[in-house]
Amino acid sequence: MDQQTPAEREATCQAIVDKVNSLDIDAFCIMDYWTFDGYLALREHLQKHPGATRKRIFPGIELRLEAPTNHRLNTHVLFDDAILGETLAHFLARLCMGSPVGKPPSRQNFIDLGKGYDAGKLRQHGFTAEDKINDDKMHLLGSQTAVVTRESLENAIKLAGEDRCLIIQPYDTNDGLEELDWKRHPYTDSYLMKMVDIFETRHPVAVDLFLGLGHPDKPTLGDEFIDNLGGYAKPVVSGSDAHAIAHYGVYPSNRITWLKAQPTFSGLRQVCQEPSLRCFIGTTPPKQDHIIQNPTKYMRRLRIEKVSGSTLSDQWFNGIEIDLNPGLIAIIGKKGTGKSALADILALAANTHCLELEFLTAKRFRQGSNISKHFRATLTWTDGSPVQVTLDQEPDIDQPERVRYLPQQFIEKLCNEIELGSGNFDRE
- The answer for residues whose C-beta is within 8 angstroms of residue 78's C-beta and 6 or more apart is 29, 31, 58, 59, 60, 165, 166, 168, 198, 268
The 10s digit of each residue's pLDDT in 36-58 is 999 999 999 999 999 999 999 99
Where does 216-264 have alpha helices with state H? 221-229
Give residue 426's pLDDT band: very low, low, confident or very high (50, 70, 90): low
The 10s digit of each residue's pLDDT in 190-221 is 999 999 999 999 999 999 999 999 998 998 99
Per-residue model confidence (pLDDT) at position 306: 92
Per-residue model confidence (pLDDT) at position 421: 61
Per-residue model confidence (pLDDT) at position 101: 60
Cα separation values, 59 from 29, 148, 217, 240, 387, Å? 6, 19, 39, 16, 40
- Across the range 119-147, mean pLDDT stands at 95
- Measured in degrees and rounded to the nearest 5, phi and psi for residue 198 equal -140, 140
| Cα–Cα distance for residue pair 376/314, rounded to 1 Å | 14
| Cα–Cα distance for residue pair 342/238, rounded to 1 Å | 36
Q: Which residue has the higher pLDDT, 70 or 267?
A: 267
Per-residue model confidence (pLDDT) at position 283: 92
Give the number of other Cβ atoms within 10 Å of residue 262's Cβ: 15
Per-residue model confidence (pLDDT) at position 235: 97
Per-residue model confidence (pLDDT) at position 419: 63
Give residue 34's pLDDT band: very low, low, confident or very high (50, 70, 90): very high
Per-residue model confidence (pLDDT) at position 221: 92
The 10s digit of each residue's pLDDT in 10-26 is 999 999 999 999 999 99
The answer to whether residues 197 and 235 touch, using CB atoms and an 8 Å cutoff, is yes
Per-residue model confidence (pLDDT) at position 418: 67
Per-residue model confidence (pLDDT) at position 239: 85
Residue in 333, 349, 335 with CA at minimum distance from that of residue 401: 349
Per-residue model confidence (pLDDT) at position 384: 95
pTM across the whole model: 0.84
| Cα–Cα distance for residue pair 160/87, rounded to 1 Å | 6
Domains of the chain: 6-105+146-283 (3.20.20.140), 295-420 (no CATH)
Per-residue model confidence (pLDDT) at position 276: 96
Per-residue model confidence (pLDDT) at position 415: 80
- What does the DSSP assignment read for 391-411? TT----TTS--SS----HHHH
Amino acid at 252: P
Residue 418 DSSP SS3: helix
Helix, strand, coil % in the chain, rounded to nearest 5: 40, 15, 45
pLDDT at 238 over 80: yes
Average pLDDT, the chain: 91
- Across the range 348-357, mean pLDDT stands at 90
| Cα–Cα distance for residue pair 218/209, rounded to 1 Å | 11
Per-residue model confidence (pLDDT) at position 423: 57
Cα separation values, 410 from 355, 374, 396, 417, 426, Å? 10, 28, 20, 11, 14
- Measured in degrees and rounded to the nearest 5, phi and psi for residue 420 equal -85, -10
Residue 194 DSSP SS3: helix
Give residue 366's pLDDT band: very low, low, confident or very high (50, 70, 90): confident
pLDDT at 424 over 70: no
Most distant pair of Cα atoms in the chain: their distance: 94
Give residue 390's pLDDT band: very low, low, confident or very high (50, 70, 90): very high
What's the DSSP call for residue 105? P
**Cα distance between the two ends of the chain:** 64
Cα separation values, 376 from 120, 185, 186, 191, 206, Å? 76, 65, 64, 57, 50
- What does the DSSP assignment read for 281-305? ESSS-HHHHHHHH-GGGSEEEEEEE
Cα separation values, 217 from 178, 202, 257, 275, 398, Å? 19, 19, 25, 22, 56
The answer to whether residues 217 and 282 touch, using CB atoms and an 8 Å cutoff, is no
The answer to whether residues 253 and 173 touch, using CB atoms and an 8 Å cutoff, is no
Residue in 209, 204, 180, 198 with CA at minimum distance from that of residue 253: 204
Task: Lay out the sheet containing 320-323: strands in order across.
Answer: 320-323, 299-306, 375-381, 386-390
Residue 58 DSSP SS3: strand
The 10s digit of each residue's pLDDT in 70-126 is 888 999 999 999 999 999 999 999 999 986 568 999 999 999 999 999 999 999 999
The 10s digit of each residue's pLDDT in 278-333 is 999 999 999 999 999 999 999 999 999 999 988 888 888 889 999 998 888 888 99
Give residue 263's pLDDT band: very low, low, confident or very high (50, 70, 90): very high
- Across the range 242-267, mean pLDDT stands at 91
